[in-house]
Chain A
Amino acid sequence: MSNIPADLKYAKSHEWLKAAADGTATVGITDYAQASLGDITFVQLPKVGATLKAGETFGVVESVKAASDVYAPAAGTVVEVNQALEANPEKVNHAPYGEGWMLKLKLASAADAAALMSADDYAKSIG
């Protein structure tokens, strides 16, 4: 059974988002996604300052099996990326909601984040 924390929001494309009170949000990929990919070997992240539209590709997650695009769950500007993933991409496998976080966005609109799926809806979507 994959881990789907109740306090996060989810995109159909298997990214999670955690909104903070200050209008920023942390983004990563779900436990279901990391388990499906297998051993993650490389994570390509955007530069700080990049602006993203909701649904736009922000990077790539590579595993032994395949390379896969990752999509911004909400529109915003990249304010921080997880540098630790360069040397230790396996953090995404071991702690997809913790140490495996990918980037922090300054959200263009809090409403975008609110429109994402709840944990229950995401759980239903992955069946």
Chain B
Amino acid sequence: MEAGALSGRMGALQTTPLNAFHRQHGGRMVDFAGWDMPVQYRSILEEHKAVRQRCGLFDVSHMGEADVKGPDALRFLQHLVTNDCGKLFPGRVLYTVMCYPHGGVVDDLLVYMRAENDYLLCINAGNIAKDIAWMQGQAKGFDCTVVDRSPEYAQLAIQGPQAPALVQSLTKADLAAIKYYHFSRGDVAGVPCLISRTGYTGEDGFELYCAAGDGPRLAEAIVAAGGPFGLELAGLGARDSLRLEAGYPLYGHEITDQVDPLAAGLGWVVKFDKGPFIGSEALKSAKTNGPARKVVFFRTGDRRIIRAESPVLAANGQTVGRVLSGTLSPMLNEAIGSALVDAKALGAEMQVDVRGTKLPLLLVKPPFVPLKKAG
């Protein structure tokens, strides 16, 4: 075996409130975007299958949270993001991206409306400092504030067909009344939570936001109650293979500051009708001209994983793109992934080279497996 395959590395990593919990429960810790997080507990493949078949518990406390409040909060958010925040009402959540003026993506995020002029944003762990600085800069001239609340929160995701029953067993809140992309407040295992029917797996389930100090006891309570529901602790490895099977983008892969949301297949979160927003002119041009490159999802009919950065080749051997994400789908038992390819190359056969063997990219309109998320 190559030594490099087995080595780890340590730096000054950030930790979530559940760091001791992960170690106690056998988590294998890795550096994820500067955070000390479990890539798996038992097995990435087993944790992935558990979420699809029963339920899994993820620590997602590394994600960032920010408050946007003030008389201009809505006007500012409409300027900042591509989706229409006018659709929000208290208890509703919106998935969107925010763009740079040239149309590239700053981050994808969730926007929660708690009340008039009172919004909570959930942003990616690796982008917290960048996003806060960007948003605070863009908020100048608007009568509202953007405040980083990330250190104050722990966040747990319970996902899978058994997830609602498991969480319901720990709360008096009526979970059936919380529809997909809606949220409520309630105590779960005695811990005050924002209960959000959202997730990154394509399954039904909840994301629970609580005070950072409450995170470990909430997690332990969920584990203690999880037996009858077949609960599995799940790490970031399974989180990645689940989201890729569901066709969801990961910032830094399918969306970046070099890829606009239209090219990334996220045109459905770009609402030109709501009025101008940062990047709207660039995106309108891109829509008129058509994108030069597009993100596609693929499978190969083979088990060899196609790693990120692998070149995508045309039949004549010319490079026409590169792979963005690749993994083995435990449900399909074949390699799946995403790639950024020249739009001109899309009509013809494309391949990747795995150690001398050419494998076809069989394009798939995601999701790779039927999604069973609520509603």
Contact = CB atoms under 8 A, between A and B. Distances in A.
Interface in B1-34: 1-3, 5-6, 28
B5 A66 contact: yes
A37 B303 CA distance: 16
B1 A69 contact: yes
A67 B305 contact: yes
B305 A33 contact: no
A42 B2 CA distance: 16
Contact of B44 (A33, A42, A64): A64
B325 interface: no
Interface in A34-87: 36-39, 41-42, 44, 60-62, 64-71
A62 B237 CA distance: 15
Contacts, number: 66
B1 A33 contact: yes
Nearest to B327: A64
Chain A contact patch, size range: 20 to 34
From A14, A37, A39, A62, name the one whose CB has the most chain B CB atoms within 10 angstroms.
A39
Contacts of B39: 38, 65
Nearest to A14: B1
A102 to B, nearest CB: 12
Contact of B5 (A64, A68, A93): A68
A68 B1 contact: yes
A14 B1 CA distance: 6
Which 10 pairs of residues, A with B, have the shortest CB-CB distance? Answer: A68-B5, A36-B6, A14-B1, A41-B328, A39-B45, A42-B303, A33-B1, A64-B44, A39-B44, A68-B1
27 contacts: A13-B1, A13-B2, A15-B1, A29-B1, A36-B6, A37-B1, A37-B6, A38-B43, A38-B44, A38-B237, A39-B44, A39-B45, A39-B46, A41-B305, A60-B355, A62-B304, A64-B237, A65-B5, A65-B39, A65-B237, A66-B5, A67-B305, A68-B1, A69-B1, A69-B2, A89-B303, A90-B45
